[in-house]
Structure 1
Amino acid sequence: MNVQAAVYTNERGQDRKHTPWPLPAGWTWVALDDLGNWTGGGTPSKTVASFWTDGTIPWVSPKDMKLDVIGTTEDLITKEALDRSATKLVPAGSVLMVMRSGILRHSFPVARTDRPVTLNQDLRALTPINALDPNYLARYLARSARAVLDACSKDGTTVNSIDAKSLGRFRVPVPPLAEQHRIVARIDALFEEIAEGEQALDAARKGLETYRRALLKAAVTGELTADWRETTDVDVSGQDIVRLIEHDLSLAKRRPAPSGESAGLLPIPDTWGWSTLGTLASSVRNGTSSAPRATPNDNEILRISAVRSMYIDASQIRYLSESQAAASAEATVQSGDLLFTRYNGSADLVGVGAIYRGPQRFYPDKIIRVRLHAALEDGAAFVELAANAGNGRKHIAANIKTTAGQQGLSGESLKQTPIPVPPPSEAKEILRRVADGLAAASDTRHVLDAEASDVQRLRQSILRAAFEGRLVPQDPGDEPAGATLARLKASNTIATPARRGRRAKS
């Protein structure tokens, strides 16, 4: 290896070439080519079973590059594969880098290996010289991912790739070896503290979700307003509302209301009544099966992804042609209607619903529109709540079926969803308290998100300080990096291993 660039420094230990930032005394900028020996990869023939059956040697591919340290891998090869293919054994303590993968559009995966491994052809490994701590190098390259991609990416390739020669010229700020060890130890200690903080943030987020579920459950069982009922009389009960709706002969033919405890439902106050979503609705209808298009016009149709639990993203729209719109006149939603998802790849997103508030639009056949009976007046907000929590959500989750890889809910099952009906005055109080509780939770989540962003910025600040020489104090007694490199060269410690002939693939 050529170490001229490594030792060509001034009296303060700074590289005389252009450098991204000034370095402390004893540090120097060194190209990757001068910091170790490169090893490429290869793939043993997949047609030779003995290369892969009962393998014990890790074979690293881009899909394994998700951790800081590579231990085991998804694929293992045999000693026979190593002996009879182009792949080579990479020593423990090497730094692995992805050279060819779609992930290079936005990331530059780097990892260390704590044991000998082999690589596929989309990776390269740098085995550092004795003057370089592999932990330090891996930390620096991971922190410099954007710079590597900007400086070393190939142009005009079908698959995103790193140019090996450009990567070899990519320079690293190298401090004295003892200082490298101190830097790595300090980074690890600080990152461990940060990780503990992140765990606390995650626990707080989970606590918020637990609070949200408990709040909604209390809302739809009457627990939330137990104190309100003790001091407030009602003129119209929930049972009165249910009887009024069921008095309509056209609605009386619908499925009878659940009977509470006999149906395995959570108990509700005496002034409440049980009904079903189908009974409370004047119409329940699937949307249009017309395939939407991206070209904007006046015929807006909501996308399936627009509907989530108690939230509709009205910006999630596509468009129908004039002929499609004319054929889909019945598949429109108006402000105040409830929309529920009918199919989704995730069961958690099937049967979730929300009130639609906005101009009249079309909706697709994987969404079900529920238009409530006029007797409910402003009751849509409570029905939205009851369908997404407690017994309502429990019923929906129990009736989700899998068809062709999609999770689905039939319209009939949705109609059977049990809905508790409180007195109108109590429903308003419930909604007020829920809104206050969710707003407080949202404020707390914003604080947690801001703290999480601060954590990421703190990590970057620590790494920047580390590689600018500001994280740990310099020790004048440390041998300068340039002197170490020169000494290693003089003692022939730096050496390029003999080239190994390419083995014929079997």
Structure 2
Amino acid sequence: MRGDLPAGWRCVSLGEAGKWLSGGTPSTSNDVYWGGDIPWISAASLKEFRVTDSDRRVTRLGAENGSRMVEKGAVLFVVRGMSLKSEFRIGVAERPVAFGQDCKALIAADGIDPHFLAHAIQARTPSILAMVEETSHGTGRLDTTRLQELEIGVPPMREQRRIVAARAAVEWRIEMLERTRGKLAVVEKAVSADSMTRGSQAWSAKSLGTVAAVEAGVTLGSEPTGDGTVELPYLRVANVLDGRIDTTDVKTIRVLRSQYERYALRVGDLLLTEGGDLDKLGRGAVWDGRIKHCLHQNHIFRVRCGSQLSPDFLALYTSSPAGRAYFQSVGKQTTNLASINSTQVKNMPIPVPPREEQEGILAPVRTLRSRIASVDRLIGKLRAVQDGLLEDWLSGRLRTP
């Protein structure tokens, strides 16, 4: 890195970039240490770049006995925890805070802006995650000695502050879009719920199994091998969320070719989860076919509608208060989880208005969802632009405006 920096920049190791501090946990059995007004930051609570609060707080006495307190401007990051297996959490304290032993604090050295320092460290996330080791308890751990050897380029203070301000401007635009998305989501939820109340008394009700085919998916376990088998992606419960499908992490499974049609998904299939928290039973979304030759796990029901029923209308109903109430009424509750079976899904009473009326009900919902999707795409583009610009700014390849 040293030879790649522009004139006036200097190469600094993270060990030289500031003062490193370790945190701790005050005794949880001593009430005088907890319940104060000082946020206590842990690996679990460090989720935002701007660190302003935490779900747990300590008193001044607690911060001085077993923990560590830092002032506004301290850079905080996670060095131990489950989150390190997939992400590197870092932020800047916007107020005095205390922090636990799963985090480290870095007090920026003279000539280094703390927000610039945090951005520069965050930009090295791939290298940092490559250093993560797994402990005997299965959590991730960062060797701070290796972390301190990482190098960053540090421009003059004026350029540092321009980089911080430029990134903040893009972040502000993203935050405005996220607020817009939140408002649209509230309206969409209200319109969706209201659509199920209009005309529902006049609609004929039928058992879901009479107007759609309900099937469970492939069972995980011993997989077949040899000729006549194929390895394919499949959706599990973690992929099927309330109103959307998340395919950022999709597993694969090997099945017999002869079983493909039995478990294969088609565009328009409604996917419903079999188990989980009681109030989340039957959550689901309509499959859009984004992955070719995709299967589904046995803990997800595939509902394939016939000609009388639109899958989008069915999804609207299953997520409505009436649909939720049905799943909760028939769900079997165990100690930790609740579940439904295919017979209960097939027996679910479904209102079946004429298809034209279904499409009329769906029209305003689809309009709102289309607007939300447009905002999501714009947010995604801005995030990508922000990451690219920040990388160029931090390397000196591009000067800030």
Instruction: State TM-score, norm by structure 1.
Output: 0.56
Alignment of 1:10-21 (within 5 A): 18-19=1-2, 21=4
Alignment of 1:101-250 (within 5 A): 101-150=81-130, 153=131, 155=133, 157-158=135-136, 159-200=139-180, 213=192
The aligned counterpart of 1:281 is 210
Matched, 1:398 2:378: no
Counterpart selection for 1:296 from 224, 243, 253: 224
Matched, 1:65 2:46: yes
The aligned counterpart of 2:9 is 27
Gaps of 5+ in 2: 288-294
Per the TM alignment, residue 62 of structure 1 is displaced from its structure 2 partner at its CA by 0.7
The aligned counterpart of 2:291 is none
Q: 1:107 to 1:21 in 2, by over 3 A?
A: farther
> For each residue in 1:19-66, what CA deviation from the matched residue of structure 2 results, as whole angstroms up to 9, or x when unmatched?
27322x3221122222321111223333x4145344444332111211
Per the TM alignment, residue 459 of structure 1 is displaced from its structure 2 partner at its CA by 0.8
Distance 2:13 2:296 in 1: 60
Corresponding pairs, count:
372
Per the TM alignment, residue 120 of structure 1 is displaced from its structure 2 partner at its CA by 1.8
Amino acid in the other structure paired with 1:472: T
Per the TM alignment, residue 299 of structure 1 is displaced from its structure 2 partner at its CA by 11
Per the TM alignment, residue 68 of structure 1 is displaced from its structure 2 partner at its CA by 1.5
Gaps of 5+ in 1: 1-17, 222-264, 269-273, 326-330, 356-360, 371-377, 474-506
Distance 2:105 2:212 in 1: 64
Distance 2:4 2:391 in 1: 11
Whether contact under 8 Å (1:351, 1:414) holds in the other structure is no
Q: 1:207 to 1:20 in 2, by over 3 A?
A: farther
The aligned counterpart of 1:415 is 347
Per the TM alignment, residue 118 of structure 1 is displaced from its structure 2 partner at its CA by 2.7
The aligned counterpart of 2:292 is none
Amino acid in the other structure paired with 1:90: V
Whether contact under 8 Å (2:219, 2:297) holds in the other structure is no
Whether contact under 8 Å (1:303, 1:318) holds in the other structure is no
Distance 1:307 1:88 in 2: 41
Q: 1:363 to 1:453 in 2, by over 3 A?
A: closer
> For each residue in 1:404-450, what CA deviation from the matched residue of structure 2 results, as whole angstroms up to 9, or x when unmatched?
3326489578636143364xxxx4x6789899999999987776554
Give the match's secondary structure for 2:352: strand
Give the match's secondary structure for 1:178: helix
Q: 1:118 to 1:445 in 2, by over 3 A?
A: closer
Instruction: State TM-score, norm by structure 2.
Output: 0.68
Whether contact under 8 Å (1:44, 1:81) holds in the other structure is yes
Distance 1:20 1:216 in 2: 63
Counterpart selection for 2:30 from 28, 40, 49: 49
Matched, 1:37 2:12: no
Q: 1:30 to 1:442 in 2, by over 3 A?
A: same
Q: 1:20 to 1:101 in 2, by over 3 A?
A: farther
Give the match's secondary structure for 1:63: coil
The aligned counterpart of 2:74 is 94
Amino acid in the other structure paired with 2:51: I
Per the TM alignment, residue 350 of structure 1 is displaced from its structure 2 partner at its CA by 1.5
Whether contact under 8 Å (1:287, 1:365) holds in the other structure is yes
Q: 1:414 to 1:54 in 2, by over 3 A?
A: same
The aligned counterpart of 2:383 is 456
Over the aligned positions, Cα root-mean-square deviation in angstroms equals 5.2
Whether contact under 8 Å (2:2, 2:10) holds in the other structure is no
Whether contact under 8 Å (2:38, 2:98) holds in the other structure is yes
Give the match's secondary structure for 1:399: helix
Q: 1:311 to 1:382 in 2, by over 3 A?
A: farther
Distance 1:172 1:312 in 2: 38
Q: 1:28 to 1:40 in 2, by over 3 A?
A: same
Counterpart selection for 1:467 from 352, 376, 394: 394
The aligned counterpart of 1:230 is none
Larger Rg: 1
Give the match's secondary structure for 2:77: strand
Whether contact under 8 Å (1:154, 1:160) holds in the other structure is yes
Distance 2:321 2:341 in 1: 13
The one of the two structures with greater contact order (alpha-carbon pairs below 8 A, sep at least 6) is 1
Give the match's secondary structure for 2:69: coil
Q: 1:21 to 1:217 in 2, by over 3 A?
A: farther
Q: 1:303 to 1:369 in 2, by over 3 A?
A: same
Q: 1:41 to 1:406 in 2, by over 3 A?
A: same
Distance 2:319 2:37 in 1: 52
Worse overlay, 70-79 or 388-397: 388-397
> For each residue in 1:350-397, what CA deviation from the matched residue of structure 2 results, as whole angstroms up to 9, or x when unmatched?
286989xxxxx9996985989xxxxxxx95442756644459955433
Per the TM alignment, residue 95 of structure 1 is displaced from its structure 2 partner at its CA by 1.0
Q: 1:198 to 1:82 in 2, by over 3 A?
A: closer
Q: 1:30 to 1:202 in 2, by over 3 A?
A: same
The aligned counterpart of 1:374 is none
Q: 1:67 to 1:381 in 2, by over 3 A?
A: same
Whether contact under 8 Å (1:50, 1:81) holds in the other structure is no
Give the match's secondary structure for 2:309: helix
Give the match's secondary structure for 1:181: helix
Distance 2:176 2:300 in 1: 43
